[in-house]
């Protein structure tokens, strides 16, 4: 499995991977001029130690590349993990890379995320952000239809601007932005991927990006089963402490 569908039209695809759990082990052991050929119980204990003690640099020697197709509102939340990818250890250059499709150059078929009537959520009772329970279906039906009408109107204006000779980079101003699907490549170290997962698998993360984080986890965990398990487990333990 290298691709998982998310939401109504989105997906995550694992494009490429460099490294394995053994990469983390050997990056840590190079200080002593040691190297493992196969992953042993001793190596698993080393990964657990690194995760527990916050020795994160060995996890940056393994790299994963994903193709993501998601609504713009998800992409802009995700982007902060590239901007802040020096992580927990001060400053430094990022190993992350992000390249995104642009409607300055392309005019491929427009697609928008439109929640079904049963997917609209209420505002939370005691917070300025996040969401609460699903709203009644009758309200959801109105919201879905309103969004469909809004998208259709924006598309008409966009097409009219393009046909009248307006350049693509300005015509896109007519498009409803936050629900519009965009495509990008995200290349990140294993540490960066895990940092994203620890943040966006949390129960209070926005539901839509949680769904993408679950897809990332399902794709990457089989490639780094020990490292992923140790990092996420240690994060959960710290949260419960």
CA distance 205 to 63: 25
Asked whether 29 and 36 are in contact (CB, 8 A), the reply is yes
Query: What residues contact residue 189 under an 8 Å CB cut-off, 6+ apart?
Result: 59, 60, 61, 62, 63, 85, 95, 96
Residue 31 has a pLDDT of 78
* Tokens standing for residue 133: 């329970």
57-100 per-position pLDDT tens digit? 999 999 999 999 999 999 999 988 775 555 444 434 456 788 88
* Tokens standing for residue 70: 């998601």
CA distance 6 to 184: 15
116-141 per-position pLDDT tens digit? 999 999 988 876 677 889 999 999 99
| DSSP code, position 170 | H
Active-site residue set:
200
Kind of pairing between the strands at 181-189 and 97-100: antiparallel
Please, what are the domains in the chain?
Answer: 3-105+181-240 (3.30.1360.170), 117-174 (no CATH)
156-201 per-position pLDDT tens digit? 999 999 999 999 889 999 999 999 999 999 999 999 999 999 999 9
């Amino acid at each position: 499995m290298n691709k998982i569908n998310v939401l109504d039209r989105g997906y995550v695809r694992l494009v490429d991977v460099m490294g394995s759990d053994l990469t983390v082990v050997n990056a840590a052991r190079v200080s002593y001029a040691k190297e493992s050929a196969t992953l042993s119980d001793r190596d698993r204990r080393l990964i657990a130690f690194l995760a527990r003690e916050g020795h994160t640099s060995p996890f940056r020697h393994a790299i994963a590349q994903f193709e993501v197709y998601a609504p713009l509102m998800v992409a802009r939340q995700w982007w902060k993990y590239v901007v802040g990818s020096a992580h927990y250890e001060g400053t430094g250059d990022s190993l992350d890379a992000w390249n995104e499709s642009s409607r300055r150059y392309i005019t491929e078929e427009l697609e928008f995320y439109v929640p079904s009537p049963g997917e609209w959520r209420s505002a939370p009772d005691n917070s300025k952000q996040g969401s609460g329970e699903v709203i009644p279906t009758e309200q959801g039906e109105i919201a879905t239809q309103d969004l469909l009408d809004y998208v259709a109107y924006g598309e008409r204006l966009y097409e009219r601007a393009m046909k009248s000779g307006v350049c693509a980079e300005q015509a896109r101003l007519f498009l409803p932005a936050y629900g519009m699907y965009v495509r990008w490549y995200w290349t990140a170290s294993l540490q960066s991927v895990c940092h994203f997962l620890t943040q966006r698998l949390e129960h209070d993360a926005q539901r839509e990006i949680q769904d993408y984080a679950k897809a990332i986890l399902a794709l990457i965990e089989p490639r780094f089963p020990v490292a992923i398990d140790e990092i996420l487990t240690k994060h959960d333990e710290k949260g419960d402490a």
